[in-house]
Amino acid sequence: MRLFIAINFNKDTRTRLITLRDELRSRSERGSFSLPENLHLTLAFLGECNARQADAAKASMDSLQFAPLSITIERTGNFRGGLWWAGVKLTPQLSELQRALFDALKKQGFALESRKFSPHITLGRNILTDAPPWEIEPFGETAGAIDLMKSERVNGKLTYTKIYSK
């Protein structure tokens, strides 16, 4: 199983993210744009895992104590290679949740990426556009859960399925 831990969004936030994605699409010559149901904020990418590792990820999630936290989406941007995203404000609460999750996962034996946490929601990959990132009116929600997600191809379609929630 290919797994990651994420914050999923409510209908209103997802609708606003879809609007951003569609604006990007209208400004682009081509690209692979995220499906509405796949818009999420990754906290930890675990990669290929067996059932024991999935249980260890659940135990790591269960070990966390966190209060609902504010998620604010405040900008658009891109990484080299044509990956476009909606940027999430890095608050102390979000930073602490992500760090505590990483610490708990490492105690369970997971080898995780060491790069700096840059909270973002992928809007599309392999985007070809001349458009620069643009300003947006910040929006968001209060998140009260984190989800263990399975990533797989189903009939050629990238599908994310929630398999556990804390």
- pTM (2 d.p.): 0.94
CATH number of 2-165: 3.90.1140.10
DSSP letter at 63? T
pLDDT over 90 at 118, yes or no: yes
Structure tokens at 36: 């509405």
By the 10 Å C-beta count (0-12 exposed, 13-18 middle, 19+ buried), 72 is classed as middle
Question: What is the pLDDT at residue 81?
Answer: 84
pLDDT over 90 at 156, yes or no: no
Q: From CA 15, how far away is CA 36, in angstroms rounded? A: 8
pLDDT over 90 at 113, yes or no: no
The domain spans of the chain are: 2-165
Structure tokens at 71: 């998620």
